[in-house]
């Protein structure tokens, strides 16, 4: 049996070798899920909610250990791993509180002997191919509501978060989800590819645009629900009336948190000329203060990159920006890191005098790097924010809510932030416009997305 080698991105050491699921094993597991799903969906919702509540309890009890597993395999600073797990508990609470509403049927007409009713049913067996950057969030956005709505979930965690995927399975099974109702498949792209070959009733993907497009092509002839949560190149505009220091401090965190490896991290900054210099000074000062170090240390803010190949992407973006007139204000190179040159370390990087000709302002960076461009007014900022094939989130910093709403309503993005950034709420739909994706998770709509409606037309004889 082939094995997946799991490396610690902080120091390059081998942590674990996990048995991988080949195509035959994937087919076996999906067939078992198909047999198990009807019994799961036949159980009353209250029972499924009890199971998920027990799962929540065990995540909470083991939070410290789960954070360590996540940090070891992704390099995410321990404090950020704990934040993710605590945030995940809040998301479970939301799903539990709104599951009844999302699954509720409805009578929409009753007159002249005719009744019309909507029933909501699970999709069946759904596939979930997931990313590594926030595995509890992006995996949990699918498997928690998916299971609550009565589906079986076949989950393919990223190869960079496979140990966390196995922890999820262990805790879900321990809480009472039958083994064949939640299945974790271990492997890389080919394991995901084998899952796409199976007779699934839905496919929910989180990852890059390139893989998302491949998945969309593979699933197109199947006529089942497909959701894609993909990348971004998220912009923020800092207006002339904004407090430049407060905005810079907030946006530095939005750009560098989790080493910039967030789908909604701030990657493009458009700053009004009236406050530009003060903003840049505060931005560079704040980013410089972020402590790089061993991700297992409590006070580390900047850890390594999870994937080694991303270092080349960042280096290419820096070189391209500099060649096109960008000014490197901070960082810009591979860092030795705290383990004597081992691991995937990159300096926190700020480049200004950026413009749309640069890869830095067009392509997702997914690292601790941000580009800044000076603008002269709202109209220019709006045009630049919309100058992208993505559309996940966008932000505006100004004390004037009317101004923020006016600008925000012209920006094409699934989420709009006013004086905040890099934020996800379980109460609001999470969706990408343009190449950032298809469909949505979170909010009540993001729970009922794991159901299909049946329309009943009922006439008494």
Q: By the criterion CB under 6 A, which residues form the site for ligand NAD?
A: 129-134, 138, 156, 158-159, 188-189, 192-193, 196, 206-208, 211, 214-215, 229-232, 263, 364, 366, 392, 432, 437
- Closer by beta carbon to ligand NAD, 134 or else 237: 134
Q: How far is the CB of 209 from ligand NAD (least distance, A)?
A: 7
Q: How far is the CB of 26 from ligand NAD (least distance, A)?
A: 11
- Closer by beta carbon to ligand NAD, 272 or else 307: 307
- Closer by beta carbon to ligand NAD, 326 or else 439: 439
- Closer by beta carbon to ligand NAD, 3 or else 405: 3
- Closer by beta carbon to ligand NAD, 138 or else 404: 138
Q: How far is the CB of 212 from ligand NAD (least distance, A)?
A: 7
What are the C-alpha distances in Å from 135 to residues 47, 107, 121, 163, 404? 26, 38, 27, 10, 32
Q: How far apart are CA 406 and CA 377, in angstroms?
A: 13
- Closer by beta carbon to ligand NAD, 206 or else 250: 206
- Closer by beta carbon to ligand NAD, 41 or else 436: 436
Q: Residue with the closest Cβ to ligand NAD?
A: 192
How many other CB atoms sit within 10 Å of the CB of residue 291? Answer: 10
Q: How far apart are CA 194 and CA 196, in angstroms?
A: 5
Q: How far apart are CA 422 and CA 210, in angstroms?
A: 23
For residue 158, give the H/E element and its range: none
How many other CB atoms sit within 10 Å of the CB of residue 58? Answer: 15
Q: How far apart are CA 46 and CA 328, in angstroms?
A: 57
Q: How far is the CB of 187 from ligand NAD (least distance, A)?
A: 7
Residue 372: name the closest of 290, 266, 274, 241 by CA. 266
What the block records as the tokens of 173 is 């099974």
Q: How far is the CB of 161 from ligand NAD (least distance, A)?
A: 8
Q: How far is the CB of 160 from ligand NAD (least distance, A)?
A: 7
- Within 13 Å of residue 107, how many CA atoms lie on the same side as its CB? 6
Q: How far apart are CA 267 and CA 368, in angstroms?
A: 9
Q: How far is the CB of 402 from ligand NAD (least distance, A)?
A: 29
Q: 151: which residues sit within 8 A by CB, 6+ positions away?
A: 37, 40, 41, 122, 123, 124, 125, 126, 201, 202, 450
Q: How far is the CB of 440 from ligand NAD (least distance, A)?
A: 10
Q: What does 170-188 look like in DSSP terms, one character per residue?
A: HHHHHHT--TTTEEEPP-S
- Closer by beta carbon to ligand NAD, 177 or else 209: 209
């Amino acid at each position: 049996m082939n094995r997946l080698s799991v490396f610690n991105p902080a120091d390059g050491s081998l942590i674990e070798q996990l048995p991988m699921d080949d195509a035959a094993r994937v087919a076996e597991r999906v067939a078992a899920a198909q047999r198990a799903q009807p019994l799961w969906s036949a159980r009353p919702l209250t029972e499924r909610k009890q199971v998920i509540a027990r799962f929540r309890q065990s995540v909470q009890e083991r939070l410290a250990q789960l954070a360590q597993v996540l940090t070891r395999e992704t390099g995410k600073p321990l404090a950020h791993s704990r934040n993710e797990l605590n945030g995940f508990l809040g998301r479970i609470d939301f799903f539990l509180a709104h599951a009844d509403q999302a699954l509720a049927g409805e009578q929409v007409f009753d007159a002249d002997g005719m009744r019309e009713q909507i029933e909501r049913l699970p999709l069946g067996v759904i596939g979930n191919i997931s990313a590594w950057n926030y595995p509890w969030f992006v995996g949990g956005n699918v498997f928690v509501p998916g299971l609550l709505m009565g589906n079986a979930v076949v989950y393919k965690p990223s190869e960079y978060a496979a140990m966390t995927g196995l922890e999820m399975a262990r805790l879900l099974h321990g809480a009472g989800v039958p083994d064949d109702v939640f299945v974790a498949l271990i492997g890389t792209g080919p394991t995901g590819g084998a899952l796409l070959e199976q007779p699934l009733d839905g496919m929910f993907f989180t990852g890059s645009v390139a893989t998302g497009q491949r998945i969309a092509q593979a699933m197109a002839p199947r006529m089942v629900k497909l959701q894609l949560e993909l990348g971004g190149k998220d912009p923020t505009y800092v207006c002339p009336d904004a407090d430049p220091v407060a905005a810079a401090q907030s946006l530095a965190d939005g750009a560098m948190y989790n080493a910039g490896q967030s789908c909604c991290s701030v990657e493009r900054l458009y700053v009004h000329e009236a406050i530009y210099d003060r903003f840049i000074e505060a931005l560079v000062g704040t980013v410089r203060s972020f402590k790089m170090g061993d991700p297992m240390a409590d006070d580390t803010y900047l850890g390594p990159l999870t994937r080694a190949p991303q270092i080349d992407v960042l280096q290419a973006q820096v070189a391209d920006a500099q060649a096109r007139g960008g000014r490197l204000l901070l960082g810009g190179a591979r860092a030795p890191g705290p383990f004597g040159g081992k691991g995937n370390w990159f300096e926190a990087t700020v480049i200004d005098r950026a413009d749309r000709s640069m890869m830095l302002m067009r392509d997702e960076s997914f690292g601790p790097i941000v580009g800044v461009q000076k603008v002269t007014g709202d109209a220019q900022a709006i045009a630049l924010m919309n100058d992208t094939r993505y559309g996940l989130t966008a932000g505006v910093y100004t004390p004037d809510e009317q101004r923020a709403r006016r600008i925000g309503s012209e920006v094409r993005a699934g989420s709009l932030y006013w004086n905040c950034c890099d934020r996800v709420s379980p109460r609001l739909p999470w969706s990408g416009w343009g190449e950032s994706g298809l469909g949505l998770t979170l909010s009540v709509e993001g729970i009922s997305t794991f159901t299909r409606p049946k329309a009943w037309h009922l006439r008494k004889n």
